Each structure stands twice: as structure tokens, then as C-alpha cells.
Amino acid sequence: NLGCPTKKITRNSEGGALLLEPALCSEIFRTVVKAVSCPVTVKLRKGWDERSVTAHEIASRAEDAGIAAVTVHGRTVKQGYSGQADWKIIREIKNNLSIPVIGNGDINTPGRALEALDYSGCDGVMIGRAARGNPWIFAAASALLLGRPLPPPPTANEIVAAVLRHFKLLAELKGETTAAREMRRHSAWYIRGLPGAALARQKLIRLTTYRELESVLLAFADSLKDHGNNN
């Protein structure tokens, strides 16, 4: 992962900071490819900043080192998630490589996924932040790409069921205490935009157990009956 812009990562010369060292990237690529039997992929950004755009070079080095596929996010590390992703550079990299290229950045709707694929010629697109609280975006994007009717948006009951399942799976992995802490923001993402979400979030930020989450969400879903979104 050469794309992480988080300061606690980059200050250790990791993540996006590696984009400043193309030769070291090549060494890392070759070492990892040699050490494992599975395909190795690389995710990178446009560059460190607009004065250091190294994505073309590092993507080519990745291919030369035996990397199986490259994902390119169209922002620099310094941009973080501000501004707009540069899909022109993603298209250029796709045209220059023979290995699969996956485009990333601002894919926030199913329609945008299709537009990005058409424009860039990429082998796929990666959906990131838009999937937070909306795992249904993948089915919708898939339907659009296959020329099928878009599935209806999830009902309140379906959203509640998804959040509760999310908690259970996370608790199996990390334990209930950690899961509860992490689900505070995830559950808020699931219900954003719905009537009464702000009030429910005030309760969710104090979440400590699965039962508390279940109680808040069931009450929230019940409150939506008057809005016709509880089937």
C-alpha cells in the first residue's frame, strides 16, 4: 500500500511516503513477489504532491517487478481526500501498462463507476469511502455495468439487519468492547440521511454493547414507519 496519506504512517517513511523513493519501491516489489506464491498487487497515489508526480514511474516499476495488478488513486498524498481525483493520469497509466489497472477516487455512485470505466479504460474501479454504511453500492454498480435494472434502495429494516450483522462479525474478530467502539461511527454511516438520524447518532456515540445497538436501531426503525421506509 503506497497510498496511505495518514501522517502517523508517512512520517515513518511508510505508505504514501514511499512514492518519494521509486528505487526502494522496486526493491520492495521484487522482494515480496519472490517471497510469496500468490499474486501481489500494489495500490498507489498520483504522487507525493503536484511537484512530485511519480505514479507513472512506480506503476511501470511495479509491472517490471512482477506485480500482478496496480490500483491508482488519482490524488496526491498531500491532497488526502480533498479536491477531485485526477482520472487523466489513471487513464494514462492504464494505456502504458499491460497488467490490469484499477482506478480509484470519487467513485461515489453506481453511475460514476460506469463513467470512470468508460473514460479510463481501466480493468476495474475501486469503491472506497462511498461504501461506508452503504455496502449495497456494489450490487447497484454491478447491475448497472451488466445492463440490469438497479435494485431498490435498502429499507430501514434491511439497514438495521445489516448493521447488527456487521457488529456480530466484528465482535467475532475483535471482541464486543472493541466492536462497540468501532461500530459507533459505522452505524452512524449506515443511517445518515434518514429522518431522525441525528438524534439516533447521539445515542450511538455512547454505544458499549450489542444490546444497546439493537435497542437504538430497532427504535429508530420503528420511528421511520411514518415515513414509509420500514418494509
Q: Can you give the C-alpha Rg of the chain in angstroms?
A: 21
User: Cell triple for residue 172?
Assistant: 467475532
**Stated length of the chain:** 231
Active site residues: 4
**107 CB contacts (<8 Å, ≥6 apart)?**
113, 116, 125, 126, 127, 128, 130
Cell of 46: 498520483
